[in-house]
Chains A and B, each alone.
Chain A
């Protein structure tokens, strides 16, 4: 909080409303469970960590200014802001495509008006923790595709790696430039009831959502300019430059001015907007598989001025579809011969092929050990306690209390292939029990977590909703995080699912400067 700002001019508040000032917060003493005010009348704290209030009616210090501003606002003002924000998303075409609709319906990703605020100290932990994690994961990938030291020493079971659906034996012995396998990661964090951030899952293949992080900030600046005057929010607008710089460091050695492209599956992909957005932010071509070809193990793109060599491909196409000669032969999204060009070291990919083995949810359970093994350090960010269904003891423990557990398929993402025990029916649990017994390697289980809740505007009032946090990590010449991330919100009351396909939305995420 910046007390000086309280006295200064604040364009967001008009004269009449500024009578509701600092002192009111202390005076106002609502019912114990609800922090108060007209807007906050339905705000009930429970045992989950609340991002805004330390105790009923008592905002956390860094949320003080935000709460004051909200107390000065009315429902109709907030509604007006919400309409303004929604319109901004729609007219800018910030949408995702809904599959299975012939008209190609595009929807906006629901946006919650209120920022989620992270302090500098909290961010510093996240930043160091994720840098440590990504460094270790890259060493792990280098190791399993070469010497397999960690497997020989039995730290990670060999069969777990080789049975992983995303393990690519084509990558055995392939030299990846600078040994950077994962250069772009989006790791999902949640905050537990004790206030600690823990890692829920790593996304090491083609993490998406960064365009929403940037768009949310743009819209927030437009809708709540006054609030920025009261906080020192770290800027994130240089993400495009940081991404480009990262991709350029991946370029094959002797290519002094590398050509970088973004490879998209095409306009039918649900994240097409993001692909076009990132290409534009970086000022590089957005290509499809059919724009590229290989000759003598060199990748070219077909332009009106002839063929032009491509050095780095930021590919938003999954491994399976990258090269019909090497992987799925029916893929028309990839480039024939790309794998050979890659193995020859003539083109770089961000991320490398075969990184999915490290975000397999069973391997996830070993990441703390992986960190200790390669770095001889204790992990700064913990994992969520995870039970591996191929271990008989774990399996028995979980099957006895399925109604309290969250079960996940190891290779899935996006909230698919999950059982949320407390919200499940007996029939669903029976179906998952059969699936687990049929293919134990394919499942893991975690206790149902109560992750933190942040204040959201529901259209009527302000209420807490469960949130997670996905910071975006880049690894080029060094690991760097743009100070921010995508806070995803389970907009349905009580829901724990934050995925956009299942009723999730997002918030602007502020990392404060010291």
Chain B
């Protein structure tokens, strides 16, 4: 038995950290693109746009943009805002998580705040991105090693992988559908490399397909790979096992709305073909994944956390 408020906080700790990691990686790749002259100008913009920073100025003026993506607490997907929100959730359930977990979360929060307050922060955004990414990896390792893999841990898993499936599908969508319709023609392979890097997938991709980077292979890899941990299919498998475990923990039969929604999504990824997806309308398909993630989130809340009282009053 877990209080709904506690489940909610655990779920959001994981979601916010996943989002912070994603944002940090995008900024890191965007900075990298800005250094070389490689790639169509659009790719860095595309990365920032997916962080909600839409009107990108000239590359030379990106400093404030990067600072906002990193530190602007008013921008809810900025790295600092996500880490702060995760830590705030952690503080409220401190007795439910291991003290090692809280200490790491706190250390990460303090590190971000410290870099934010030092004078040369705009000169060193890349180092902050590294700090955040490795800090989150450490938190995940500590979580798996020190917290019992019971109901609370499953909420962390669900939050982390729902966020991951959603943001990966949305980012892919920007490249696959918008890139294909761009006026200045198709994206160059360096743009697809940037996309792979944004998902920490370049090395894994090369090992699987060689360094021959092609759009349909990139799409297949990020969407349908069964073993790559940042692919949408991999995330769907983890969400499904977490939701099954949650249903079991609260005494349900495992055929409720959350399990059915994730089961359907997972099956479509298990049996989907990349050529069919691309020849059909990839935008519809990818936007559909984001929408299904939102539905799964709502179903989890309806079932366990924000359920209507009338449905739960004992007869």
Q: How far is the CB of B150 from chain A (nearest CB, A)?
A: 11
In the complex, the answer to whether A307 meets B313 with C-beta atoms within 8 Å is: yes
Chain A 281-292: CB-based contact to B (< 8 A → 1; otherwise 0)? 000011110110
In the complex, the answer to whether B2 meets A286 with C-beta atoms within 8 Å is: no
In the complex, the answer to whether B4 meets A302 with C-beta atoms within 8 Å is: yes
Contact of A304 (CB < 8 Å), options: B92, B99, B151:
B151
Q: In the bound complex, what is the Cα–Cα distance between A2 and B1 (angstroms)?
A: 50
Q: In the bound complex, what is the Cα–Cα distance between A276 and B313 (angstroms)?
A: 28
In the complex, the answer to whether B91 meets A304 with C-beta atoms within 8 Å is: no
Closest to A259 in B: B1
Closest to B7 in A: A304
Q: How far is the CB of A111 from chain B (nearest CB, A)?
A: 20
In the complex, the answer to whether A303 meets B94 with C-beta atoms within 8 Å is: no
In the complex, the answer to whether B3 meets A291 with C-beta atoms within 8 Å is: yes
Instruction: Please classify the interface of chain B as helix (H, G, I), strand (E, B), loop, or mixed, using the class held by over half of its residues.
Output: helix
Q: In the bound complex, what is the Cα–Cα distance between A12 and B1 (angstroms)?
A: 46
Chain B contacts with A in 247-262, Cβ cutoff 8 A: 249-251
Q: In the bound complex, what is the Cα–Cα distance between A211 and B141 (angstroms)?
A: 32
Chain B contacts with A in 1-40, Cβ cutoff 8 A: 1-5, 7
Q: A293-B309, A304-B246, A307-B313 are in contact. Are A279 and B95 (CB under 8 A)?
A: yes
In the complex, the answer to whether B5 meets A302 with C-beta atoms within 8 Å is: yes
Q: In the bound complex, what is the Cα–Cα distance between A280 and B98 (angstroms)?
A: 13
B185 is an interface residue with CB less than 8 A from chain A: no
Q: In the bound complex, what is the Cα–Cα distance between A266 and B95 (angstroms)?
A: 12
Q: Which residues of A contact B3 (CB under 8 A)?
A: 285, 287, 291, 301-304
A232 is an interface residue with CB less than 8 A from chain B: no
Q: In the bound complex, what is the Cα–Cα distance between A303 and B250 (angstroms)?
A: 9
A3 is an interface residue with CB less than 8 A from chain B: no
Contact of A291 (CB < 8 Å), options: B4, B304, B313, B314:
B4
B312 is an interface residue with CB less than 8 A from chain A: yes
Q: Which residues of A contact B305 (CB under 8 A)?
A: 304
Q: Which residues of A contact B307 (CB under 8 A)?
A: 302, 306
Q: How far is the CB of B9 from chain A (nearest CB, A)?
A: 10
In the complex, the answer to whether A306 meets B95 with C-beta atoms within 8 Å is: no
Closest to A303 in B: B1
In the complex, the answer to whether A307 meets B99 with C-beta atoms within 8 Å is: no
Q: Which residues of A contact B99 (CB under 8 A)?
A: 93
Q: Which residues of B contact A285 (CB under 8 A)?
A: 1, 3
Q: Which residues of A contact B4 (CB under 8 A)?
A: 291, 302-304
A169 is an interface residue with CB less than 8 A from chain B: no
A295 is an interface residue with CB less than 8 A from chain B: yes
Q: Could you say which interface size class chain A belongs to?
A: 20 to 34
In the complex, the answer to whether A280 meets B312 with C-beta atoms within 8 Å is: no
Q: Which residues of B contact A305 (CB under 8 A)?
A: 1-2, 249-251
Chain A 228-242: CB-based contact to B (< 8 A → 1; otherwise 0)? 000000000000000
Chain B 286-301: CB-based contact to A (< 8 A → 1; otherwise 0)? 0000000000000000
In the complex, the answer to whether B95 meets A267 with C-beta atoms within 8 Å is: no
Q: How far is the CB of B246 from chain A (nearest CB, A)?
A: 7
Q: How far is the CB of B59 from chain A (nearest CB, A)?
A: 36
Q: Which residues of A contact B95 (CB under 8 A)?
A: 276, 279-280, 286
Closest to B313 in A: A295
Q: Which residues of A contact B313 (CB under 8 A)?
A: 295, 307
Q: Which residues of A contact B5 (CB under 8 A)?
A: 288, 290-291, 302
Chain A 92-109: CB-based contact to B (< 8 A → 1; otherwise 0)? 010000000000100000
Q: Which residues of B contact A93 (CB under 8 A)?
A: 94, 99
A391 is an interface residue with CB less than 8 A from chain B: no
In the complex, the answer to whether A308 meets B91 with C-beta atoms within 8 Å is: no
Chain A contacts with B in 292-321, Cβ cutoff 8 A: 293, 295, 301-309
Q: How far is the CB of A341 from chain B (nearest CB, A)?
A: 14
Q: In the bound complex, what is the Cα–Cα distance between A304 and B256 (angstroms)?
A: 14
Chain A contacts with B in 70-115, Cβ cutoff 8 A: 93, 104
Closest to A295 in B: B313
Closest to B246 in A: A304
In the complex, the answer to whether A304 meets B304 with C-beta atoms within 8 Å is: yes
Q: In the bound complex, what is the Cα–Cα distance between A293 and B4 (angstroms)?
A: 13
Q: In the bound complex, what is the Cα–Cα distance between A276 and B7 (angstroms)?
A: 17
Closest to B155 in A: A304
Q: In the bound complex, what is the Cα–Cα distance between A503 and B250 (angstroms)?
A: 48
Q: Which residues of A contact B91 (CB under 8 A)?
A: 104, 267
Q: Which residues of B contact A293 (CB under 8 A)?
A: 309
Q: A93-B99, A267-B92, A280-B95 are in contact. Are A304 and B309 (CB under 8 A)?
A: no
In the complex, the answer to whether A306 meets B312 with C-beta atoms within 8 Å is: yes
Q: Which residues of A contact B304 (CB under 8 A)?
A: 304
Contact of B309 (CB < 8 Å), options: A276, A303, A307:
A307
Q: How far is the CB of B116 from chain A (nearest CB, A)?
A: 13
Q: In the bound complex, what is the Cα–Cα distance between A481 and B74 (angstroms)?
A: 52
Q: Which residues of B contact A291 (CB under 8 A)?
A: 3-5
Q: In the bound complex, what is the Cα–Cα distance between A308 and B4 (angstroms)?
A: 11
Closest to B252 in A: A305
Chain A contacts with B in 386-434, Cβ cutoff 8 A: none
Q: How far is the CB of A297 from chain B (nearest CB, A)?
A: 13
Closest to B305 in A: A304
Q: Which residues of A contact B7 (CB under 8 A)?
A: 304
Q: Which residues of A contact B312 (CB under 8 A)?
A: 302, 306-307
Q: In the bound complex, what is the Cα–Cα distance between A285 and B4 (angstroms)?
A: 12
Q: A290-B5, A295-B309, A302-B5 are in contact. Are A307 and B314 (CB under 8 A)?
A: yes
Q: How far is the CB of B11 from chain A (nearest CB, A)?
A: 10
Q: Which residues of B contact A266 (CB under 8 A)?
A: 92
Q: In the bound complex, what is the Cα–Cα distance between A305 and B4 (angstroms)?
A: 9
Q: How far is the CB of A305 from chain B (nearest CB, A)?
A: 4
Q: How far is the CB of A156 from chain B (nearest CB, A)?
A: 42
Q: Which residues of B contact A309 (CB under 8 A)?
A: 314
Q: Which 6 A-B residue pairings sit nearest by Cβ, starting from the closest?
A: A305-B250, A304-B304, A276-B95, A302-B4, A307-B312, A304-B2
10 contacts between A and B (CB under 8 A): A267-B92, A267-B94, A287-B3, A291-B3, A295-B309, A302-B312, A304-B2, A304-B151, A305-B1, A306-B307
Given contacts A303-B4, A304-B250, A307-B314, 17 further A-B contacts (CB under 8 A): A93-B94, A267-B94, A276-B94, A279-B95, A280-B95, A286-B95, A291-B4, A293-B309, A301-B3, A302-B3, A303-B3, A304-B1, A304-B2, A304-B4, A304-B246, A305-B251, A309-B314
